[in-house]
Amino acid sequence: MKFSIPVLTSALAASALVSGAPLGRRDGRGAVYFITNEPEGNMVIVANINADGTLGLNRAVSTSGRGSHGLADPVGPDALFSQGSIKASATGKILAAVNSGSNTVSLFSIDSSDPTNINLIGEPVSSEGEFPMSLAINGAGNQVCVLNGGTVNGVNCFSVDSKLGLVAMPNTLRSLGLNQTTPATGPAGTTSHIAFSEDGKQLIASVKGVPPTPGFLAVWDVNTDGTLSADFQTVTPGSGGLLPFSMTVIPGKNAILATDAGVGFDIFDFGGQNQSSVVPITGQGATCWSSFSNQTGNFYLTDIITSTVTEVNVDDNLKGTIVKQYPKLQALQRSTMTSPLSGARTSSTSWLLTRRPATAAGVTINANNLQGMTSFVKQ
Ligand SMILES: *[C@@H]1O[C@H](CO)[C@@H](O)[C@H](O)[C@H]1NC(C)=O
Ligand SMILES: *[C@@H]1O[C@H](CO)[C@@H](O)[C@H](O)[C@H]1NC(C)=O
Ligand SMILES: *[C@@H]1O[C@H](CO)[C@@H](O)[C@H](O)[C@H]1NC(C)=O
C-alpha cells in the first residue's frame, strides 16, 4: 500500500491557511483546529469559521510538546496513521491534542464566545505509552482517552480538571499487546482511531491488519466511574475486511461505520452477535477517514490515494450503500467549511508567511506532518 499523495485533509488545511478573512473573530460560527505535528515543536493551527462558512487562519498555539512521523516507505502525509489526533468537545469546551514525539497529551480550554481563543490548561501529561496518535472525549466532556500506537501501546484515560488540566484516572491504562515500534511502523499493523460508543458504555480502538491477516476492533466496557474493564473484547470485520481505520458512530444504532483502507468500509453491529458487513468501494486506493453529517444523514469517507469523497447511506437495517462519489475539488466546494482557495496544497509555508506575516511567521508546516482536524461550532 502506498500512502504518498497529498490528501483532502491537507488541502482543507491549506484552504484554512490561505483564505483572507480578518483575524480574531467573535462573529464567526466557530473554529477548526489542526496540529502541525512537527518534531521541533507541535502547534495547533486555528482557523475561524466565518459567517459565510469559509475559513480564515487565525493563530498558531504551541502544545508544549513535539510531533513525530511514523515509519513508512515511502514517507507519506499520514504521519500518525490515524484519525482523531486532535479533538474538541462542545460540551466540555475543551480541545485535546496528541504530542506523538514526546508521548504526551495537551489540553486547552476553548472560549465559547470566540472559539479561536484557546488556552493551554496545566502542562502536557504523559500518555503512559508511546506514539500517542488518537483521542476520544466522552459525551459529558469530562473524560479524555488516548490511544498509544508505539512499542508501548494501548489506551489510557484522564479526567478533566479546569485548573490542572488532564489528571490520570486509575484503572484505565490498558494494553493492546501489539508488536510495534516507536515511532510506529505502518500503515499496516498500526493502531488507527479511538472512540466512545454512542451511549458511552464502550471505549473502542481500531487496529489495522497486516495482510493477509485482518485487523480488529478492541472493545473495553466503560464502568460508571469511567474506569475500564480489565480486558478487551476483540471484534473482527466480516469476510473481506482487512484494515479498519477511522470509526464513526451510526446514530441511534449500537453500531460503528469503520473505513477499511483495504476494501472500502465495514459496518460493525454491536447490538446482536457483533456481526460486521463489508462494503467494497470500487476503484478505491485506501479509504481512511470518515465523518457523519446530521444535516444529510449520510457519512462522508475520504481516500488518501484517490482523494475521492464517497457519500454513504446506512439504512435502518445497517445496510450501507454508496450514494455518490465526488472528486476532490468538487467535494471541497460542496463543503461548508471551505475557502474559495480550496485548490491549494499544504506544503506552502510561504503562503502562510506572505498572507499572515504577523501571526504565522516562524510556523513550520510540512504536508507530510500536518495532522488531524476537529471543529467547535458555537451553540
Ligand atoms: C515483532 O516484529 C518483529 C518485526 O516484524 C519480528 O522480528 C519479531 O519477531 C516480532 N516479535 C514477536 C514477539 O512477535
Ligand atoms: C459483542 O461485543 C460486546 C462489546 O465488546 C460484548 O460486550 C458482547 O458480549 C459481544 N456479544 C457477543 C454475542 O459476542
Ligand atoms: C440531528 O438531526 C435530527 C433530525 O434531523 C435532529 O432531531 C437532531 O436534533 C439533530 N442533532 C443535532 C446534534 O444537530
| Nearest ligand 2 atom, CA 219 | 5
365 Cα–ligand 2 center, Å: 43
Reported confidence tier of residue 113, pLDDT bands at 50, 70, 90: very high
pLDDT of residue 25: 53
Residue 295 has pLDDT above 80, yes or no: yes
* Mean pLDDT across 248-257: 97
pLDDT of residue 162: 96
* Mean pLDDT across 344-369: 49
Beta bridge partners of residue 33, listed in sequence order:
46, 374
* Mean pLDDT across 125-138: 98
Of 315 and 327, the structure prediction assigns the larger pLDDT to 315
If one residue of 174, 196, 219, 276 were mutated to test the ligand 2 pocket, choosing by the most ligand atoms within 8 A of its CB, it would be 219
Reported confidence tier of residue 365, pLDDT bands at 50, 70, 90: confident
Residue 192 has pLDDT above 80, yes or no: yes
* Mean pLDDT across 249-261: 97
171 Cα–ligand 2 center, Å: 21
In short, whether 273's Cβ falls inside 6 Å of ligand 2 is: yes
178 Cα–ligand 1 center, Å: 10
Which residue has cell 493563530?
59
Task: Please give the Cα distance from 226 to 273 (Å, whole number).
Answer: 25
Residue 344 has pLDDT above 70, yes or no: no
Summary mean pLDDT of the chain: 86
In short, whether 270's Cβ falls inside 6 Å of ligand 2 is: yes
CATH topology of domain 3-377: Methylamine Dehydrogenase; Chain H (2.130.10)
* Mean pLDDT across 350-370: 58
Comparing 91-100, 158-167, 177-186, 332-341, the range with the smallest average pLDDT is 332-341
* Mean pLDDT across 265-285: 93
Indicate the SS3 state at residue 333. Answer: helix
Report the nearest-CA residue for atom 14 of ligand 2.
273
Report the nearest-CA residue for atom 4 of ligand 2.
219
145's enclosing H/E stretch is: strand 143-149
Report the nearest-CA residue for atom 3 of ligand 2.
270
Residue 357 has pLDDT above 80, yes or no: no
pLDDT of residue 57: 87
Indicate the SS3 state at residue 351. Answer: helix
pTM of the model: 0.88
Comparing 240-244, 314-318, 339-343, the range with the smallest average pLDDT is 339-343
Give the ligand at the shortest distance from the Cα of 272. Answer: 2
pLDDT of residue 28: 85
Give the ligand at the shortest distance from the Cα of 273. Answer: 2
Per-domain residue ranges of the chain: 3-377
Task: Please give the Cα distance from 313 to 321 (Å, whole number).
Answer: 5
If one residue of 232, 274, 276 were mutated to test the ligand 2 pocket, choosing by the most ligand atoms within 8 A of its CB, it would be 274
Residue 375 to residues 23, 90, 296: CA-CA distances in angstroms?
17, 9, 18
Task: Please give the Cα distance from 315 to 198 (Å, whole number).
Answer: 17
| Nearest ligand 2 atom, CA 274 | 1
Percent of the chain surpassing pLDDT 70: 84
25 Cα–ligand 2 center, Å: 46
In short, whether 268's Cβ falls inside 6 Å of ligand 2 is: no
